Structure 1
Amino acid sequence: MKQDVDIKTADGVVKAALFRPDNGAPAEHGVIFYMDAMGPRSSLDSMAQRLADAGHIVLLPDLFYRFGAYGPFDGSAFGNPASRETIMTMLRGTTQEMTKRDSAAFLDALSAAGAKGPVGTVGYCMGGGRALTAAATYSDRIAAAASFHGGNLASDAEDSPHRLAADIKARVYVGVAGVDNSFPPEQSARLAEALRTGGVDHIIENYIGMAHGWTVPDHHGVYDETGAERHWKRLLNLFDEVWPR
C-alpha cells in the first residue's frame, strides 16, 4: 500500500512515498530505500512494495528534490544523451553530504509513520553509498545497511563511504556486480579492509555475470531475474537476522 508524503528538510520539501504491506499485516520496522540515478518511478515502487510486503514500513524519497520536476526516466535513460546529461547534472549536484543531512528527516518520517526501534537502509547504484553513509552517520538509529551495485563506495573522494566505516554499528551487506566500472576490484578490496579494520559485521558478495543495475526490473538488457531473486534473498535475510520474528 503506497502513500505519498512530503518531508521537510533544511533545503526544501522532499516528495516521498511510504509503503506498507498490501495485505494489511502489521509492520513494525522501517527501511529507507535510497534510489538509483533514474529517480523514483514505478519500477522502484514495485521493489519498495515487495520489501514492505515482507513486513516492513518502507520510505522511498526523491533524492533529487532540489531540482524540482524532472523526467520521468526509466532504466534505459542513460542510452539517451540528453537524459544522461540531465541525470548526471542532478547526480553531481546531490552530494553525499546533502543526503546525509536529509537522512535525519527520513528517519524521523519513519518514526512518525510508526516504525519502532532502529531501521534498515538499502540503496541501489548511487543509493548504495548513501545507505552506508547514513548507517555511519546515524549509527544509533540504523541496524542494517545494504548496497547493491553501489558506485564509488571506496574511491579517493573525501566523502567516500569507506572512510566512515569505523562509525558503522549496523550489519552491512554489499552486493557487487561482476563487472562494474563504478566499483572496480581495487575499491572492493579497499572497502573490505575498511570494514574489517573498523570492526563492522559485513559481507561483500560478488555476483559473477551480473552487470551494474541487474536488480532493477526496468534496466532492460541488464536486469537478470535469477540474480535479482538472489539479491532479494540476501536482503530479506539481512533484515530477518537483525529483526528476528
Structure 2
Amino acid sequence: MVSSVDRRDIDIKTADGIAKAALFGAGGGAKAGVILYMDAFGPRPALYSMAERLAGHGYAVQVPDLLYRNAPYGPFDAKTAFVEEKSKAVLMAMIGGLTQEMTVRDSGAFISALEATGIKGPIGVVGYCMGGGRALNAAAAYPDKIAAAASFHGGRLGTDAPDSPATNAGKIKARVYVGSAGVDGSFPPEQSARLAQALREAQVDHIIENYVGMQHGWCVSDHSVFDVTGSERHWKRLVAFFGETLG
C-alpha cells in the first residue's frame, strides 16, 4: 500500500443535478474502480482517509455526495449530529428525502464517471451505514457493471420493503460481503436471516459476518463508537474481498 495517492474533486452530472465527488487513485494504472457510498454525515476527512487507504491498494476510488440535492449542508459532527436536536432534525429530513431509487438512479452516473477516467472492467462498491443498502441495491441495478458489493453496519438490509436488498437479491450477480455490528437495531438477527435466505435462494456468492462487540458505526474513525481493532478487521476483510474479486 502506498503512503499517499492523488485526489481530484469532480462534478458528476445526474438526472437531478450535479453531485460533487472526490476521486482518489485515478491518475493512471488503477486495476479497478470502486465507489464508496457514504454514511449519513456526508463526505468529510474521515471518509476521504478511508478512500485514500483503499486507493493505496491499486483502486480508483470515488466518494460521491449522495445528499447533493440538499447542498450546501453541514458539516456535521458524526459524534454529536444525532445527539443535538437541531442537527438531528436536519439530518433526518435529508435522509428521509433520499430514496433508494434516487441513489440507484444516481449510481449509473457514478459508474459512468469512473469509466470516463479510463477504468475498464468490473467495479466494486462498498457502503457504510445508510450507504450499505445503497451499495447492495446498486449491485442489483447494474449487475453487468458491479462485480463486488460490500456493506458495513448497513441498516434495513433484510426487510420486506420493495427497496430492500433482500427483496432485490435475485437481481444481484456480484459477490456480496456484509459485515454487521454485534448488536444493531437497524439490522437485527431476523433481518440478517432474511437477507441470507434471499441471497442463498438467488445463488449469490455471499458472506454475512457478525462483528461481535462492535456497535453501529465502528468502522469510521470519527464515530463515537469507532473501534480500532474492529476497523482493522474490516479492512482485512474488505481488501481481501476486493482483491479476490476485482484483482
TM over 0.5: yes
Alignment of 1:111-150 (within 5 A): 111-150=115-154
Q: Quote the offset at 1:156 in angstroms.
A: 3.0
Percentage of matched positions with identical amino acids: 65
Partner of 1:210, secondary structure, is coil
User: What count of residue pairs does the alignment treat as equivalent?
Assistant: 241
Which consecutive residues of structure 2, in runs of 5 or more, have no partner in the other structure?
A: 1-5
Asked whether 1:47 is paired with 2:50, we answer yes
Asked whether 1:32 is paired with 2:35, we answer yes
- 1:78 paired residue number: 82
Return the match for 2:62 from 59, 69, 77.
59
Aligned 8 A contact 1:34 1:127 in 2? yes
Task: Tell me, in whole angstroms, the C-alpha distance in 2 between the residues paired with 1:142 and 1:99.
Answer: 15
Task: Tell me, in whole angstroms, the C-alpha distance in 2 between the residues paired with 1:54 and 1:74.
Answer: 28
Give the TM-score of the pair, scaled to structure 2: 0.95
Which AA in structure 1 matches 2:18? V
- 2:3 paired residue number: none
Partner of 2:134, secondary structure, is helix
Task: Tell me, in whole angstroms, the C-alpha distance in 1 between the residues paired with 2:59 and 2:124.
Answer: 10
- 1:110 paired residue number: 114
Asked whether 1:7 is paired with 2:12, we answer yes
Return the match for 1:226 from 217, 225, 229.
229
Superposed CA offset, 1:172-203 (max 9, x none) = 00000001010011000000000000100000
Q: Quote the offset at 1:228 in angstroms.
A: 0.1
Partner of 1:169, secondary structure, is coil
Q: Quote the offset at 1:75 in angstroms.
A: 1.5
Task: Tell me, in whole angstroms, the C-alpha distance in 1 between the residues paired with 2:53 and 2:114.
Answer: 17
Query: Structure 1 residue runs of 4+, over 6 Å off?
Result: none
Task: Tell me, in whole angstroms, the C-alpha distance in 2 between the residues paired with 1:229 and 1:78.
Answer: 25
- 1:89 paired residue number: 93
Aligned 8 A contact 2:33 2:60 in 1? yes
Q: Quote the offset at 1:25 in angstroms.
A: 7.2
The root-mean-square deviation of aligned C-alpha atoms, in Å, is 1.1
Task: Tell me, in whole angstroms, the C-alpha distance in 2 between the residues paired with 1:89 and 1:205.
Answer: 31
Which AA in structure 1 matches 2:98? T
